[in-house]
C-alpha cells in the first residue's frame, strides 16, 4: 500500500514539474496562505525496539498555514489537527513477561498543534523550488487511549482505564520538499519530513 502511494506521488511530481516548466518567475518577499494534508507513521521496526508486542501507529493530519518569503528562506506557521489511526491490540514491552501484557484501544484520540518552521529554499528553475528546514511547536492531545489487562490469549479482561498521557507535548522535527508553480503565484508542494513520525503529504497555497 505504501509503495503504491509512493509511486502515485512520483507520477504526480512529474506532472506538476511539466506544468511548471513554462511558468514565469514568482516574486519573493510575499505572504502566502494555504492548506495541506499529511500522513504520518511510525515504522514497526522502530516500535520493536521498545515493544515485543504492538500494533501499528499512523495518523492523518490536515491544517492551514501562513508564510512570508524572504530572499533565501521562508518563515512558516501552521495549525494542524491529527487523527490517530492505531489498531486495537495487545502491547508488551521488551523484557516483560506475558502477565504484564495489556490491551490498548483508540477512543477518538488525536492532537491539535501549532508549529513554526524556517525553510531554506533554492530556486532551481523559475517555477521549481526545493526547500528544507527545522520545525518546532507544541501539540495539545485530546481523546483517550483505553487500556485493559490482557489474558494469555492477548485479549482484554476486566475494566478499562484511560492511559495517562501528558496533555501538552513539545514538537521538534524537520520539513523538506519541493514547490511547483503551474500558474503565477499558485503553489503545489510535495512535503516530506519527520513530524509526529515519518510524514508525507501535499500542500496547496497562494502567494499574494
- pLDDT tens readout for residues 90-139: 888 888 887 778 888 888 889 999 999 999 998 888 788 899 999 999 99
pLDDT classification of 27: cutoffs 50, 70, 90:
low
Report in angstroms the alpha-carbon separations of 86 from 89, 128, 161, 197. 9, 36, 17, 13
Q: Say what the pLDDT of residue 162 is.
A: 73
| Domain at 2-207, CATH class | mainly beta
> What does the alpha-carbon distance between residue 33 and residue 20 come to, in Å, rounded to a whole number?
19
Span 23-27, average pLDDT: 53
> What does the alpha-carbon distance between residue 134 and residue 67 come to, in Å, rounded to a whole number?
14
Span 148-164, average pLDDT: 71
> What does the alpha-carbon distance between residue 76 and residue 137 come to, in Å, rounded to a whole number?
11
Q: Say what the pLDDT of residue 28 is.
A: 64
Whole-structure pTM value: 0.76
Contact 48, 69 (CB under 8 A): no
- Give the CA angle between residues 23, 29, 30 to the nearest 5°: 70
* Contacting residues for 110 by C-beta, under 8 A, at least 6 apart: 59, 81, 82, 83, 84, 141, 142, 143
> What does the alpha-carbon distance between residue 91 and residue 150 come to, in Å, rounded to a whole number?
9
> What does the alpha-carbon distance between residue 37 and residue 168 come to, in Å, rounded to a whole number?
22
Instruction: Show the 3-state SS of 6-50.
Output: HHHHHHHHHHHHHHHCCCCCCCCCCEEEEEEEEEEEECHHHHCCC
Percent residues over pLDDT 90 in the chain: 36
Which of helix, strand or coil describes residue 4? Answer: helix
Amino acid at each position: 500500500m505504501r509503495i503504491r502511494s509512493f509511486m502515485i506521488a512520483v507520477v504526480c511530481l512529474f506532472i506538476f514539474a511539466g506544468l511548471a516548466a513554462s511558468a514565469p518567475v514568482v516574486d519573493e518577499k510575499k505572504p502566502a496562505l494555504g492548506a495541506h494534508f499529511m500522513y504520518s507513521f511510525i515504522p514497526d521496526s522502530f516500535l520493536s525496539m521498545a515493544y515485543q508486542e504492538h500494533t501499528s501507529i499512523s495518523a492523518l493530519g490536515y491544517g492551514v498555514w501562513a508564510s512570508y518569503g524572504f530572499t533565501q528562506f521562508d518563515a512558516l506557521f501552521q495549525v494542524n489537527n491529527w487523527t490517530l489511526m492505531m489498531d486495537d491490540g495487545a502491547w508488551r514491552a521488551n523484557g516483560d513477561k506475558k502477565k504484564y501484557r495489556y490491551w490498548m484501544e483508540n477512543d477518538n484520540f488525536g492532537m491539535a498543534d501549532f508549529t513554526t518552521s524556517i525553510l531554506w529554499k533554492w530556486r532551481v528553475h523559475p517555477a521549481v523550488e526545493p526547500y528544507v528546514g527545522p520545525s518546532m511547536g507544541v501539540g495539545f492531545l485530546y481523546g483517550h487511549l483505553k487500556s485493559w489487562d490482557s489474558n494469555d490469549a492477548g485479549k482484554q479482561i476486566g475494566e478499562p482505564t484511560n492511559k495517562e498521557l501528558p496533555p501538552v507535548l513539545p514538537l521538534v522535527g524537520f520539513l523538506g520538499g519541493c514547490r511547483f508553480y503551474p500558474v503565477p503565484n499558485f503553489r503545489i508542494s510535495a512535503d516530506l519530513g519527520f513530524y509526529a513520525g515519518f510524514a508525507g503529504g501535499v500542500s496547496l497555497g497562494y502567494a499574494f
